Structure 1
Amino acid sequence: MSKKTKNYFVKSFLAIVIAIGVFFGLKQVMPKNIFSDTKSGSDGIVVDSLALAAMNDSTGAQEENLPDSLMEDSLQNRIKLHVSDNSEGLGYLSSFYEKLYKLESTGKGKVRIAYFGDSMTDGDFIVQDIRNSYQSAYGGKGVGFVGITSLSASARGTVSHQYSKDWLTQSCLTVKNPKRSFGIDGQVFFAARGGSSWVKFTAGNQENISMLYNPTLFYGSSGNDKASITVSSGKKDSASVYMLPAGELLNTVSLGNTAKSLKISVQNGDSIPFYGVNFDDGVGVHVDNFSIRGNSGLPLSLYNKNLMNALDNVLQYDLIVLQYGTNVLGYNTLDYTWYENKMIAVVNHLRECFPKADILIVSVGDRAKKVETEMQTDKAVAPLIKAQRKYAAEAYAGFINLQALMGGDGAIVNWVNDGFANKDYTHVNAKGARKLSSLIYDELDKGYTEYKKTK
């Protein structure tokens, strides 16, 4: 080996030794969490375009003012109810509690809840058990409103949901300007032109939802006067044909008697916007699950007020629950003022869409990520919950701190270790969903107990 080659290897070796020394020297002063909390991505969780736009809006979003009449109603309904340190402003749910009180006292009437959420309530997780708790306590049967198609259809145990692949589905998460207004689940569906679109529902075997009660199809307006559907319940010679007059902004058609299974086939249905099918027995409590994976809550601002008013005239909602936050954690900042302002506008918009309903905000739950070798609560959780608490108060809505109910900082680590949550340290499993539903329901029930003391 030449002298020149030897010198080259010696210099290379010394460079490597020096580099290793510098690394270990710097390691002593480096932060424990090597990766910044202000990252631009979020572990594979999808964020809708409205959230991305709001985060990049340097001017800051201003909240939409609540109409004076609705503001007065909200203030008049304010009752001071202290339930626990895990919730605030449950006195703003007094209209909902009053409807529940009348139902409990007389055994007559009905109460309806719309539960909006993201992947935390996907597949009817959490919501199905809240539904069962209310129906077991106050009566009511049926799974509620179900869309025509759903990304979580195969994961849902409360109703078997199948459909043909030729439906055109437009979601508020991916389309800002749909062909027709979104329905209450944030989607609108169109049958294939000249196709054979169909959807089939089969009731599960769970308590209170073992049948498809009083099935009713919801669809929108169209100049198409030739559309019809064929409805079969699985029994021999049970098929019935219904024409679909579509002259109103919102149209409904009763699909016959309560059944275990129901298949709807569409003929000449192109251009008609379909919204979904409702299943309930008309008494007691009914809870609809409107979850879309990746949703921040901001797309609810895209809902058409007139259509929602028409839907509300039929379904008559008493409580709107918003459980969001998973998809806005940790993006570029720990300052969630932009989200707070945008969500005030969303809540005020929902009040105009559903003017008789009270509104409840359920915060993001605990979430952890790895810091060196240890899983710790994401630093973004606390400021996001603070923003959620603030916009709930400013919009006259009730608030439940889900992370606190779970056990506070580090709770999700314990939930994973105890078999209640997945190892993404974000989402609960079926066992954990039942536990969360019990915690949320119990907090609401404590508020109801305190409300009854004022009677």
Structure 2
Amino acid sequence: MKKLKQLIGIMLIVGFALPTVVHAVESSPIINFHEPNLPKLKNKLVNVKNKVAPPDSVLRITQLGDSHTAADIFTGALRQSFQQDYGSAGIGWISPINVYGQRNTQVYYNALDWRLTSSRSTVANDYPMGGFIATPTVANAQLTINYNVDEKPSLWNATFLVKQLKKGKPLKLVDGMNYEVVLDTKGQTGWQYVSAFVMLPLTITAESAESAKLGGIWLEKNGAPGVVVSPVALNGAKQSIWTHWRSDWTNDLAKIKSDLIIIAYGTNEAFETPFNPVKYKQFLIDSIKAIRKKSPTSVILIVSPPDSMLRNKIKRGASCQAMQPPNLSIIRKVQKEVAKQQHTLYWDWSVVMGGMCGMRNWVAKGLGNKDHIHLTASGYQQSADQLYKSLSELLR
């Protein structure tokens, strides 16, 4: 029996802490291309601040993206800023078990005899939102989820995305107060939402191997006003990863009732060859329309990728234009065009870094990673601070 201990907090970056040295960064205002739901978002933020009766006092933010999101440093800093000012309403969406190389600052997992499959490695077209599935491999396989932060005991409104594979063999849960819950899909086929009130830590046990699949978990404090920020991401992903998910995955997004949906892809597309900008643009348009259909009251924000550079060209002393990934400029251009056409918000991350080839200066300042693609913890922190500042100004 193979034991897999999964500790999120150390998988990608060890010892994440808030930076103590702050370098000057550029401001990057959010462009509002007549986002129709912006007044609703402003009103929700007022309700959260005034702590009106739930559910109108919970602001939910979901960011879908690639490795810039999967590290949960950028989203973690954004979460921290919102929750310091407006309070915490909980953890939000998390993957079913730990994903190697990714992290979540809020929880840790201990999984015994569970198998993780990813929509990056297999194309099953049955993945729910997030693109991860956890399956028990033996009878009595256990999965425990607990706080990764100093948190007072709370009653949690938990929702589990479950697919039953064997009749009469549902997953069972025991929470921190020894309260037992059967994650029963009541004979329904396909992915089902099962909700329960629980106390952390919680332990899920499978009666037999391959008895059910777990596709994601949503944790929100019961009756607590505040903000929830959820990173939904895969390392190395392009937005086209959505085609590997089930056709109605936008139901999962609608289920968590996001007030603000952030779409943050583009870095991996920037290196893609061949790249078809027409096809890319149409896919982005179709994606926004699909989200609008299932989440008609949500605000959508398109975030263009941060600056990145080709290291081999840097060493050769090439021009700034030659050092850029081949599709980076056209991707930003297309994203901005789509934001304008589809009436969303738009934020250009690269402006914060000083524009084209700003990564070179950020690496020199310790804000950019030496791979010239990713940022350091300080870089993600300061980027998130700028986005929060821009959102705050927009929502006044």
Taking structure 1 as the reference length, what is the TM-score of the superposition? 0.70
2:135 touches 2:213 (CA, 8 Å); kept in 1? yes
* 1:223-258 Cα shifts (integer Å, max 9, x gaps): 62332424253xxxx54432232135523232523x
Aligned partner of residue 433 in structure 1, secondary structure: helix
Partner residue, 1:231: 174
Offset of 1:144 from its aligned partner? 1.4
Q: Per-residue deviation at 1:440?
A: 1.3
1:440 aligns with 2:384: no
- SS of 2:184 mapped into structure 1: coil
The answer as to whether partners of 1:203 and 1:212 remain within 8 angstroms in 2 is: no
Residue 272 of structure 1 aligns with an amino acid whose one-letter code is A
Contact 1:160 1:201 in 2 (8 A): yes
Off by >6 Å, runs of 4+ in structure 1: none
Deviation at 1:351, TM superposition (A): 2.1
- The aligned runs of 1:342-357 (5 Å cut-off) are 342-357=283-298
CA 1:266–1:217 in structure 2 vs 1: closer, same or farther (change >3 Å)? farther
Cα separation, 2, equivalents of 1:354 and 1:177: 25
Mapped contact 2:155–2:198 kept (Cα < 8 A): no
Check the 8 A contact 1:140/1:280 in 2, yes or no. no
After superposition, the Cα gap between the structure-2 partners of 1:170 and 1:351, relative to the gap in structure 1 and judged at 3 Å, is: farther
- Give yes or no for contact 1:154–1:160 (8 Å, CA) kept in 2: no
Tell me, yes or no, if structure 1 residue 243 matches structure 2 residue 186: no
Which whole-Å CA distance do the structure 1 matches of 2:235 and 2:252 have between them? 26
Question: Does 2:114 match 1:114?
Answer: no
Which one-letter code corresponds to 1:101 in the other structure?
A: V
What TM-score, normalized by structure 2, do the two folds share? 0.79
Structure 1 residues 436, 152: CA separation in 2 closer, same or farther (over 3 Å shift)? Answer: farther
- Encode CA deviations 1:43-70: one digit per residue, 9 max, x unaligned: xxxxxxxxxxxxxxxxxxxxxxxxxxxx
Q: What is the alpha-carbon distance in structure 2 between the residues aligned to residue 371 and residue 306 of structure 1?
A: 43
Q: Which amino acid aligns with 2:282?
A: N
Q: 1:343 to 1:308 in 2, by over 3 A?
A: closer
Q: Point out the more displaced range, 181-190 or 211-220.
A: 211-220
The 2-side partners of 1:231 and 1:190 are apart by 18
The structure with the largest strand share of the pair is 2
Check if 1:88 corresponds to 2:31.
Answer: yes
Name 2:241's counterpart in structure 1.
299
| 1:150/1:353 CA distance change after superposition, 3 Å | farther
Write the distance in 2 (CA, Å) between the matches of 1:228 and 1:416: 47
The structural deviation recorded for 1:142 is: 2.1
Please name the residue that 2:202 is paired with. 262
- In structure 1, C-alpha distance between the alignment counterparts of 2:302 and 2:285, rounded to whole Å: 11
- Indicate the larger mover: 121-130 or 137-146: 137-146
1:125, 1:430 within 8 Å by CA — same for their partners in 2?
A: yes
**2:110–2:145 CA contact under 8 A, matched in 1:** yes
Give the Å deviation of 1:135: 1.5
Residue of structure 1 equivalent to 2:72: 124
Corresponding residue for residue 453 of structure 1: none
Residues 369-420 of structure 1: per-residue CA shift (max 9 Å, x gap): 2345447451532222111111222222211001012211221111111111
SS of 1:102's partner is: helix
Q: Which amino acid aligns with 2:207?
A: Q
- Report which of the two structures shows the higher radius of gyration computed on alpha carbons: 1
Please provide the CA RMSD for this pair: 2.8
Instruction: Please say if residues 305 and 352 of structure 1, whose CA atoms lie closer than 8 Å, have aligned partners that are also in contact.
Output: no
SS of aligned partner of 2:343 = coil
- 1:351 partner amino acid: R
- Tell whether the 8 Å contact from 1:226 to 1:243 is kept in structure 2 after alignment: no
Q: Deviations over 1:71-117 (max 9, x none)?
A: xxxxxxxxxxxxx8643226415132332233334544211111111
The runs of 5 or more residues in structure 2 that have no matched partner are 1-26
**Aligned residue in 1 for 2:217:** 277
Report which stretch shifted further, 242-251 or 133-142.
242-251
Deviation digits for residues 164-189 of structure 1 (CA, Å, limit 9, x no counterpart): 3x3343333233334xx322222233
Matched residue type, 2:195? V
Cα contact 1:203–1:211 (8 A) shared by 2: no
Q: State the one-letter code of the partner of 2:293.
A: E
Q: 2:160 aligns with which of 215, 218, 238?
A: 218
8 Å contact kept, 2:28–2:387: no
Q: How far is the alpha carbon of 1:306 from its aligned partner?
A: 4.9
* Corresponding residue of 2:228: 286
Aligned to 2:301: 360
State whether residues 220 and 251 of structure 1, in contact with CA within 8 Å, keep that contact through their aligned partners in structure 2.
Answer: yes
Distance 1:205 1:85 in 2: 31
Contact 1:250 1:307 in 2 (8 A): no
Identify the structure with the greater helix proportion. Answer: 1
Give, in angstroms, the shift of residue 432 of structure 1: 1.3
1:443 shift after superposition: 1.4
Structure 2 counterpart SS, 1:422: coil
Aligned counterparts of 2:101 and 2:306: Cα–Cα separation in 1:
24
In 1, Cα distance between equivalents of 2:87 and 2:203: 27
CA shift at 1:134, angstroms? Answer: 1.3
Answer yes or no: is 1:188 the counterpart of 2:128.
no
Contiguous gaps of at least 5 residues in structure 1:
1-83, 450-455
Q: Secondary structure at the match of 1:214?
A: strand
